[in-house]
Amino acid sequence: MAKYKITSFHIVIFFLLAVLVFEATSFYRGISYIVNKYKWQDTFAKLNSSYFKTSMEYGSLEPSLEKHMVFETLTKNLNVKKLCQNSVKDRCWAKKSFYINGSTAYSYDPYPGFILDNGVSVSGIHDTTATCDSQRICNIISIDINGLERPNKFGADQFRIYYFKDKVVPYYHGDDNLVGTTVKHYLNFK
């Protein structure tokens, strides 16, 4: 059996490789963050534009409209690759979603959804029970900027958009208890 002698040269090479791997990982995370942030902002702008075009055509998207009707009217002004009556079964949304703390979010199984031409999944529309006005949320739509790919976590690749009667507000993962009340956070990217 040959014996290997570790020299200071080997230690330096090992250290440099470790630094290189760390820097490459950091670079990848940075690029991934930039791409995700761009896709989020682009999707928010598209949904915002579609919402207001639809509101002008139909008057508004009040919560009294059935979920599938809101999606049908919204998608008229978007480039949709796939329309799903059931987001999970029709593979428009991942089976499981998670909150930023790692706990399991509710299922999107019963909700309609669609996939945009850029691969972003849209689902989870909620009609709120509160009166729809400029202070209370009318509808909530969830998006997953990388589709079915992981991590499927709110605040990382999944986000929500709150629709009020007169505005659209990006969701912040700390706003879960604010459905039907005033939203305090307007930033959506951690």
Instruction: Dump pLDDT digits (tens) for 128-171.
Output: 555 676 677 777 888 999 999 988 888 788 888 887 777 778 87
What is the predicted pLDDT for the residue at 4? 73
Q: Confidence band (pLDDT; 50, 70, 90) for 189?
A: very low
Q: How is residue 55 written in tokens? A: 């509101």
Return d(Cα 130, Cα 82) in angstroms, integer: 31
Q: How high does pLDDT run on average in the chain?
A: 75
Q: Confidence band (pLDDT; 50, 70, 90) for 186?
A: very low
Return d(Cα 136, Cα 160) in angstroms, integer: 15
Residue 58 phi/psi, 5-degree rounding, is: -105, -5
Q: Confidence band (pLDDT; 50, 70, 90) for 98?
A: confident
Q: Confidence band (pLDDT; 50, 70, 90) for 91?
A: very high
Whole-model pTM? 0.69
* Whether residue 41 has pLDDT greater than 70: yes
Q: Which residues contact 135 (CB under 8 A, 6 or more apart)?
A: 164, 181, 182
Q: Please indicate whether residue 184 or residue 8 has the higher confidence score (pLDDT).
A: 8
